[in-house]
Amino acid sequence: MTSTKKTFCFGEDWLTAGIAIAIAGGETRMELTSDTRKKVISSWKTVQNIVEKGRPVYGINTGFGPLCTTKISKEDTTILQTNILQSHSVGVGDPIAPEIAKLMMILKVHALSKGYSGIAETTLDRIIWHIENDAIPVVPSQGSVGASGDLAPLSHLFLPLIGLGKVHFQGKEISTSSLFTKAGLKPLALGPKEGLALINGTQFIAAHAVKVVQKLQSCLAQADVIGAMMIEGLQGSVKPFFGELHALRPYKGNIHVAKRIKRLLRGSEILEDHIDCERVQDPYSLRCIPQVHGASRNAWLHLKELLEVELNSVTDNPVIIDEELTISGGNFHGQPLAMALDYTCLAASEIGNISDRRIYLALEGNSPGVPKLLMDDTGINSGYMILQYTTAALASENKGLCFPSSADSIPTSLGQEDHVSMGSIGGRKALQVIDNVEKILAIELLTAAQAFEFRKPMKSGVYLDEIHKEIRKKVAFAKKDRVFADDIEKGIEMIRNKTIISVIERVTKENKLAFEVPYSEEFEVY
């Protein structure tokens, strides 16, 4: 049987966040074509010729950083490359998730396969072996300043190539020596420039950015749906989502969100019931969903676009153009992604911030038919009051995490590296914020479903009604107090599993509806 898997050709095809995740998940095959192998071999030979001629080139036959004027003998050029992996393995803290480490290897193979790094073909093949066999190096999360490349984490990532370090393998953390015994492998002898090529680059930052793009997109898509359900529960108006309004301020994100929410509300009996009510406008957390969610979507789109440039770039140093031209430049500097990650971190935080405001709004009891604290019998019961304490705590924590990492720079390498990006910190921090946003959205999902209940027997449109039914399969309506932490855990699971998105896809298919809205290709595909 012929495999139906797509194939990605390293060094040739255009890499996206989605493709990188698909490779990591085993859904897309990897290949080094013969043309790519020729480019890699040619670059490797160029480095050998430089060594033979003895012309000083940074990192090939000189020391590193402030030692760039120290000449290294021809005989010692290979020792230099092994030493750099060991000396730069100074990471600390909890290990990053194996998936992110795997993404780092995928991104690094693609960059090295461009043919400008002097890497050996055998080294690339070994890295691919690690990816294919899920032998994923253990990489500490802290220690990179995001400028000379992600030196410390990349050093840990590639220690196994020389028989050192640890790996995640078959559900356990084991030494590389144990892995080699199991797999019948031996350490590689790195050639001139190889160690430097491996650890110079932005793959730690970029791998975190890949996960930021994936996870934030999910949050954004679900925030729109949960916001629409809250509009129904609190008898909000549909007018702020009319296309006529957003055509007058045509940001892509705003238009996309407004149209999505209008689609979700289509056919609602609840909206029709209060179409002529006396309330002329809603609080901002309902009325301004297109403007706030839309702004966060625009930030996400900016990161996605920049990330794709990064994923398809050469980011090590020096770059080997040809034998006569090697360039010691700054493509390893993480600033382009560092600033975008800080911006996206703020964008994610704001999704959680406005979600907390909608939760608070739902508890006030100012919507006809919806009791204060979303429970009829309060006093003896606290209702949903304390759930908002949790979202307030998470939203506040996120605000503290939003200080831009890229605003800081501490000189390193005895002043040789006198401006750094701190993008590695920005990437880790952005994922922290998104993790908190998932929890906030989970609580809003439960809150919106509770408010939604008080609109019965009136029905919403087919989308929100079916979503509500799906929620109720997992979390029952709360008539009195209970251990709400159990409900929240189920809500978080629904958010992370994208349960409500699956319902939208099912309903669209079953009812032969059209859900595509303006800019869907840009905001739903990564």
Report yes or no: 515 and 263 within 8 Å, Cβ to Cβ: yes
Can you tell me the distance from the alpha carbon of 136 to that of 174, in angstroms, rounded to the nearest whole number?
A: 10
H or E element at residue 337: helix 335-363
In the numeric block, the tokens 């966040």 are attached to: 17
Can you tell me the distance from the alpha carbon of 378 to that of 234, in angstroms, rounded to the nearest whole number?
A: 19
Strands 319-322 and 325-327: antiparallel
Q: Which of 216, 237, 204, 248 is nearest to 104 (CA)?
A: 204
Can you tell me the distance from the alpha carbon of 196 to that of 148, in angstroms, rounded to the nearest whole number?
A: 10
Q: Both tokens of residue 435?
A: 């993790």
Report yes or no: 234 and 121 within 8 Å, Cβ to Cβ: no
Report yes or no: 117 and 43 within 8 Å, Cβ to Cβ: yes
Is residue 389 flagged as an active site residue?
no
Report yes or no: 309 and 303 within 8 Å, Cβ to Cβ: no
Pick the catalytic residue: 58, 116, 384, 526? 58
Q: How far apart are the first and last CA of the chain?
A: 30
* Overall residue count recorded for the chain in this entry: 526
Q: Both tokens of residue 17?
A: 């966040």
DSSP conformation class of 475: S
Q: Both tokens of residue 151?
A: 């030196």
Residue 191 backbone dihedrals phi, psi, to 5 degrees: -90, 180
CB within 8 Å of 407: residues ≥ 6 apart: 342
Peptide linkage before 240 cis (omega within 30 of 0): no
Q: Both tokens of residue 44?
A: 């490797």
Q: Both tokens of residue 216?
A: 């934030």
Residue 502 backbone dihedrals phi, psi, to 5 degrees: -60, -40
Widest CA span in the chain: 87
Report yes or no: 159 and 176 within 8 Å, Cβ to Cβ: yes
Active site residue ranges: 58
